[in-house]
Amino acid sequence: MKFNIIDRENWVRKEYFEHYLQQQTTFSITNEMNITVLMENLKKQNYKLYPAFIFMVTKIVNSHREFRTSFNEEGNLGYWSEVLPSYTIFDKKTSTFSSIWSPNGSRFSEFHSQYEKDVEEYNGTGSLFPKTPIPDNHIPISMIPWSSFTAFNLNINNGGDFFLPIITGGKYSQIKDEWFLPVSLQIHHAVCDGYHASVFMNDFQRFADESADWL
């Protein structure tokens, strides 16, 4: 992983960054994404939705520098060359969860295989973070499959300087012959605006519609 330092004084976003950092402004957007085509393709390949969701989200974030902008351990502002997914897995016996991470794969089949290995190894450990060390360049991803929602907020306040996106999916539902998945994106206004949130949602829909190309 590589962390690229941003020259804050000459950064095109300097005024916006300083303003919203001081205000500690974060916001979220939730959309019901049409996953009809995705669900059909997953069924054909006998794949699960959750790892596909994780894969899609990570691909989108890695396609846009704004979603990879962060402070590093030394307090420098910059952006990661790549981020990894840190996602939750549910323990049915205790109704608790663990947060684990998996390396990225260039193809979904590679990621899905690694996902299944990690879930099998770390589920049921009784630990919140069983897989260590946790890489600094990770983004939090989760899914609440028991309930749908029209809005969702999950705020991380590490001194108010957590800039990486937080992505949450909900319970998918069927309306007539189509399937819809609520997807919530939580971001810091210092590094992202409504435009970037819209880019994320549009990219997600495109990935879902073109899922036959990457599954």
Catalytic amino acids?
189
Q: How many other C-beta atoms lie within 10 A of the C-beta of residue 189?
A: 20
Rounded distance between C-alpha atoms, residue 86 and residue 115, angstroms: 11
In total, the chain counts a number of residues equal to 215
CB-based burial label for 135 (10 Å; 0-12, 13-18, 19+): middle
Straight-line distance from the first to the last Cα atom of the chain, in angstroms, rounded to the nearest whole number? 26
Q: How far is CA 3 from CA 24, 72, 136, in A?
A: 23, 8, 10
Rounded distance between C-alpha atoms, residue 58 and residue 53, angstroms: 9
